[in-house]
Amino acid sequence: MTFQWTAVAAFLYGEIGVILLLCLPFISPLRWQKIFMIPLWSKVAVFWNKMFLTIIVLLIVLFLDAVREVRKYSAVHVNERATSVNSSAFDHIQMKLFRSQRNLYLSGFSLFLWLVLRRTITLLNQLAKEMTSHAALEMQVNDATEAAKKYLAKIERPQEALSGKGNGAKKESTEATNEKLRKEVELLKAELQKTSNALHKANNEVAAVKKQSEGLKREYDNLMKEYEQLQGSLNEEEDKKGL
């Protein structure tokens, strides 16, 4: 195996290892987001798009070269078989064809897994952001609920005071006190209405975030199923070549 195809094989095995690492269930998307926020990764992220496109171009070139080699040696293989040449020449052509097919699989799977790896990292970052916003919205809803309970308690106290007033007090002072308490109750009701509206809005945002998070999880699961199917086909091809 030449140096370039040895590098492609090593790159493919590295991609498989990184994707398996990203799929570990006990490492949450929030933990991966913290890892991606390390200063070293921040410096690498500046060149990430250029590096991604460069590797894509290299893998496409290698893939097209492997396709050309497969077509070339497939045609020679058929011609040699038709002319019934000696076995050593036929075995040599067959070895060349096997190598070109191997290089085709290496470059093809490397190209595909490189795209899957980028998409997986993007989904992990998006899922971590949605989880963070979901937690913040839950805290906002809890705070709004607590505030509503406090306002209700404040409203109940003036009402109780209104019901118990006036037995031993003068009529004028009672009316003034009642008017003051009514204004306070109206003010508290207005604040309660504002809080209720904020709570309803926060609940709607939480529901929207949950739906978006479920969509991201479904897309992530679909990518993992496709990866497992491709990994199985790669193992089958390697088993056939080993035989």
Burial of 172 (0-12, 13-18, 19+ CB in 10 A): exposed
- Which pLDDT score is estimated for 58? 92
Q: What is the pTM of this model?
A: 0.55
Quote the tokens at residue 133.
Answer: 């916003």
- Which pLDDT score is estimated for 169? 47
- Which pLDDT score is estimated for 143? 82
3-state secondary structure the chain: CCHHHHHHHHHHHHHHHHHHHHCCCCCCHHHHHHHHCCHHHHHHHCCHHHHHHHHHHHHHHHHHHHHHHHHHHHHHHHHHHHHCCCHHHHHHHHHHHHHHHHHHHHHHHHHHHHHHHHHHHHHHHHHHHHHHHHHHHHHHHHHHHHHHHHHHHHHHHHHHHHHHCCCCCCHHHHHHHHHHHHHHHHHHHHHHHHHHHHHHHHHHHHHHHHHHHHHHHHHHHHHHHHHHHHHHHHHHHHHHHHC
All structural domains of the chain with their residue ranges:
3-135, 184-242
| pLDDT means over runs of 10, the chain (243 residues) | 85 90 83 76 74 89 90 69 59 81 90 90 85 83 82 71 52 70 82 82 78 79 79 72 59
Distance CA 61, CA 230 (A): 21
Looking at this protein, which amino acid is placed at residue 180? K
